[in-house]
Structure 1
Amino acid sequence: MSVRVRRIYDLPEPDDGVRVLVDRLWPRGVAKDAAHVDEWPKGLTPSAELRRWYHAGQGSYEEFARRYEAELAAPEAAGLLDGVRRLAEEGTVTLLTAAREPGRSHAAVLARLLEA
């Protein structure tokens, strides 16, 4: 199983495998045909409340990750996570995000859960 996290602004690479956008909104300045996104499970993204809380600097990344994991336990999100996990079992999956620091974003939390 191979799960990668990349910024959607980076050019697609041949070894990206299945490219999954994990942001709720389409990233600014990215043409849909140029992004080469294969899947876009919007239900995997953090809630608006959690995103606002984290981006306002009200808590640590660790607390954000804990709260986000709790949201992912909801039936809809858990089902979508299982779907992406099945893709990762078949080959490489690249999680795409517009986050400036992908390693400290919800995409990193998803990658860790998928590889567990």
Structure 2
Amino acid sequence: MSVTIGRVYDDVPPGVTRVLVDRLWPRGIRKGDPRIGQWCKEVAPSSDLRQWYHHDPAKHDEFTRRYRDELGSGEQAAALACIRQLAEHGDVELVTATKDPAISEVPIIVEEL
């Protein structure tokens, strides 16, 4: 199982299934853009958590704790299981539109996988 992290605006590596894990559709990207692959918005942080965090590095530790709680149940847990299944069958790249993926939800998803 190989799960990597990328930005949606990057070129698509060959032989990789890309999964967009943001709740909101990225700006400047049209529907059907081949850089997207699949869109799994259900695994993304809730709107309330996303708006509270607002990619503030000072809140990252608390964001991580709260988001892990969210990943443990409901639609997010089911979506995480779907991504895990994809990763068991090939290489997966989780992508986001954020400027700094290191402080986004993506590394947390990778750790949970």
| TM-score, with length taken from structure 1 | 0.87
SS in structure 2 at match of 1:32: coil
Which residue of the partner structure matches residue 4 of structure 1? 4
Does the CA contact (< 8 Å) of 1:53 and 1:59 recur in 2? no
For 1:98, the aligned partner's letter is A
Which residue of the partner structure matches residue 59 of structure 2? 60
SS in structure 1 at match of 2:12: coil
Which residue of the partner structure matches residue 99 of structure 1? 98
Query: Which sections of structure 1, spanning at least 5 residues, go unmatched?
Result: none
For 1:14, the aligned partner's letter is P
Identity percentage of aligned residues = 44
For 2:50, the aligned partner's letter is R
Which residue of the partner structure matches residue 46 of structure 2? 47
Q: CA deviation at 1:56?
A: 7.1
Higher helix share: 1
1:56 to 1:76, Cα distance in 2 relative to 1, 3 A = closer
Q: CA deviation at 1:77?
A: 1.3
Does the CA contact (< 8 Å) of 1:46 and 1:68 recur in 2? yes
1:58 to 1:8, Cα distance in 2 relative to 1, 3 A = closer
Which residue of the partner structure matches residue 31 of structure 1? 30
SS in structure 2 at match of 1:34: coil
Please state if 1:73 is matched with 2:72: yes
1:60 to 1:78, Cα distance in 2 relative to 1, 3 A = same
Distance 1:74 1:59 in 2: 26
Aligned length in residues: 113
Does the CA contact (< 8 Å) of 2:8 and 2:35 recur in 1? no
Question: What are the superposed Cα offsets for residues 53-86 of structure 1, whole Å, 9 maximum, x if unpaired?
Answer: 1117495212111100101112221111011001
SS in structure 2 at match of 1:27: coil
